A and B are shown apart, each in its own frame.
Chain A
């Protein structure tokens, strides 16, 4: 019986045997990678639902929502998340607006000046500006902008602006100029053409830039950590330290539950954005030029 099975003709496969071996190897390697990348997250997920969590990763003795109940108070969660929302929305909105205005002449008119600006922008995308919070701090002392929400927002705008201008310009370059020429002939001003024709045509691109800047501002820790100190102004990124009590006692479960609440919008936004751009990675695409 077994011999008969062994002798039975093998199913004809389009793939060569060598290819199916490499397919198997690749799949196995990716399973390993998946496990390695998900493993550290196990603690976060399990501890959030464990009322007596520590840094140990273990199944909770009973699934409990106590941690979420404990952190879902105005002071612990709603105010910091509200501050994060304000900080990130304002940063993203101002950045997109300023970037659109800047990208329009850069995309439509070529001149030596514009070329210089583009080099400056490119240079700005590379500088480790968030690594130099020490001079930013002392500059903010001089400008009297420490602990100021608008000041922090403007700094976040400026530090994300080079990348935003770069991305917006490459999205705008893809909008054919002929449509605007028609509008100009009909007597529309450049600003009117930008608002009525270019912006509606590049809406997905604008959304990508908005989400990109929003996510960066939402996740940023170092900037608010240095520039804001009033408890009432802390975004979620820095307020997370409230779970570290004095004398080294840490509310692990609450820390994990709060982390999940704080991360959730990011994950949702990322998924929405990648749907928007058809699963492909427009951010890397625009980086490539």
Chain B
């Protein structure tokens, strides 16, 4: 049975952590000490603590802000615009631009994170540029931590959306936009009334994928701000990590992980339904 190795691996190392996440969140497991090796059942105590913890709604809200601004708006819109501009711009410029955007994406995530950190740091490139035009810089990672990680994630991740839209735009039949042009539609009208509606399925797919990818971003935030100052940029993955490994409460961190899994699962189901409908329409 050739499916067996795959099913076995998925059962132990993918389903395993999921089940373990739910089970572990009902115990009082800690990183060190007696309850590290033999934790007790505590029922829903971790979830009660989660709901009472003012950091949890903050973290949830920061995750939403981070995902919406950097993925849904930033990567998705910028990726589309870049892909769209590539269809009409000078070929050589388009190739170079595509290389630049992809470059930020293929870098190992820890390198991208250090580069973004250096860019926004007090003596970094951004402040040097601002000084050139006579503006005073700031310690951006400290004063506007969310803005810096959002911009860094747009820089890092736009390539994915760009590539998805570039593939999709190349499949739009030119006769349709040409027909609209003959009917007197200007460039903006052709984009909004013809091209975008044709790409509805691709847009939905891309939105779901970048949302799911952005929900799991850890390294970028951990290196740039470590969730700080205080908890001002601690999205759910960072919050779960800090609670588990800095404050030693594995069980509490696991409860946060379970919440993330539920959010991910809801998005995945919606995504699969969209795919199915697209399949049925075809």
* Cβ B216 vs Cβ A134 within 8 A: no
What is the predominant secondary structure among interface residues of chain B facing chain A?
helix
* Cβ B103 vs Cβ A38 within 8 A: yes
* Cβ B212 vs Cβ A37 within 8 A: no
For residue A139, CB closer than 8 A to chain B, the reply is yes
- The size of the chain B interface, using a CB distance under 8 A, is 97
Which residues of chain B have C-beta atoms less than 8 A from A30's C-beta?
Answer: 82, 85-86, 89-90, 93-94, 96-97
1/0 per residue, CB under 8 A from B, across A27-51: the answer is 1011101101111111110010000
For residue A154, CB closer than 8 A to chain B, the reply is yes
- Please give the distance in Å from B114's CB to the nearest CB on chain A: 6
For residue A98, CB closer than 8 A to chain B, the reply is yes
Chain A interface category by residue count? 35 or more
Determine which residue in A39, A104, A135 has the highest number of CB atoms from chain B within 10 A of its CB, and name it. Answer: A135
- Please give the distance in Å from B221's CB to the nearest CB on chain A: 11
Tell me the residues in window 1-28 of chain B with beta carbons closer than 8 Å to chain A beta carbons: 2-3, 5-7, 9-10, 12-14, 16-18, 20-21, 24-25
> Told that A40-B104, A43-B125, A131-B240 touch, could you supply 17 new A-B pairs with CB distance under 8 A?
A26-B85, A26-B88, A33-B85, A37-B101, A37-B155, A43-B115, A54-B123, A99-B6, A126-B212, A138-B250, A220-B109, A237-B108, A262-B108, A266-B106, A285-B167, A287-B164, A287-B209
Tell me the residues in window 33-91 of chain A with beta carbons closer than 8 Å to chain B beta carbons: 33-34, 36-44, 47, 54-57
* Cβ A33 vs Cβ B167 within 8 A: no
Which of A106, A124, A158, A270 contacts B12, CB < 8 Å?
A158
For residue A128, CB closer than 8 A to chain B, the reply is yes
Which of A142, A270, A289 contacts B106, CB < 8 Å?
A270
Which residues of chain A have C-beta atoms less than 8 A from B237's C-beta?
Answer: 128, 131
* Cβ A134 vs Cβ B253 within 8 A: yes
For residue B143, CB closer than 8 A to chain A, the reply is no
* Cβ A135 vs Cβ B267 within 8 A: no
Which residues of chain B have C-beta atoms less than 8 A from A289's C-beta?
Answer: 275, 278-279
For residue A184, CB closer than 8 A to chain B, the reply is no
* Cβ A219 vs Cβ B215 within 8 A: no
Provide 11 A-B residue pairs closer than 8 Å at the C-beta atoms, listed in order of the A residue.
A40-B115, A40-B125, A42-B125, A55-B124, A124-B14, A135-B20, A159-B13, A162-B14, A165-B6, A221-B109, A262-B111
- Please give the distance in Å from B149's CB to the nearest CB on chain A: 14
* Bound-state Cα–Cα, A191 to B3, Å: 12
Which of A19, A129, A263 contacts B108, CB < 8 Å?
A263
